[in-house]
Every structure is written in C-alpha cells, then in structure tokens.
Structure 1
C-alpha cells in the first residue's frame, strides 16, 4: 500500500468583513514629504484634520497618503463561514 494525496478543489470568495464582530475600519494620514503620520483611528476626519495642521506647520508639505485598514473575510462558497452560513 502506498500513500497518496487527495486534493479537493474549492471555490473561495473574498469580501469586506461586515460581520458584527469584524474589526473596525481605521484611518491614518501620512505626509509624503517627511513620512510623519497621524494617529490611527476610526474617524477619517481626525486623520484629515491632522493633515491640515501638519500642512499649516510645514507649508511645503502638500502631499499626503491616506492609510486605510479594512477587514476582509474569506470563505468557501459552499462552506459554513459565508455571510449567510
């Protein structure tokens, strides 16, 4: 008797996690000139306000990156962990 491998193909789906226990979206802004960053938080306006204050203190720093963390969830289409499973 020889060992063998059984491979079963499954179709996976990936989507933003909107479950009640999902981690929150978080936002931060980063100055593209000096690399300084705002505090990461759940309110995008806090990060935007930081950018405006930073630009006021450093008038030549006019370019920013928005850093968003959004939770995602993967599940097998016929599996128990889907949005309705």
Structure 2
C-alpha cells in the first residue's frame, strides 16, 4: 500500500504512472468481470462491485477508518454480497 500511495501522489505529474494506474484499474475490472456470471450485465451493479472492491475503498477502510485486514475484508465481502443480492 505505501508504494501505491506514493505513486498516486506523483501520478498526475507522470505519464508513465498515469498509464500504469489506468492499466491497474482496467486489470482489476477485468478480474471482476471474469468471476461474475455472464448473465450479470447490469452496468450500474458492475460499477458498484468494482467500486466496492477497488484499491481506493480498501485504502479508506484500512487507513482512514483504521480497520485491521480481517475487518476490512469482512466489510468488502458484506458489501459485495449485498450488491449481488440486489441482482437476485
């Protein structure tokens, strides 16, 4: 996390870091899409899951809210489970 935080601070000054960040964002999104069932096509739901599982959400839980890893993981799981229940 410290390396990602440092890169984010410098990202807007560096085309390389901006490109690297965009790659990471797209890679994370692809990983999510790879595990969701193909019939799940609601773009708002997919965006919500993407947000809930993002590095930014994780950073907030760990740094700003001060949660330990286990508690932060539980929050992410519960959030994604609630979002997936909306699909049913």
TM-score under structure 2 length normalisation: 0.28
Structure with the higher strand share, 1 or 2: 1
**Which structure: larger Rg?**
1
Q: Which has the higher helix share?
A: 2
Instruction: Compare relative contact order (CA 8 Å, sep 6+) and give the higher one, 1 or 2.
Output: 1
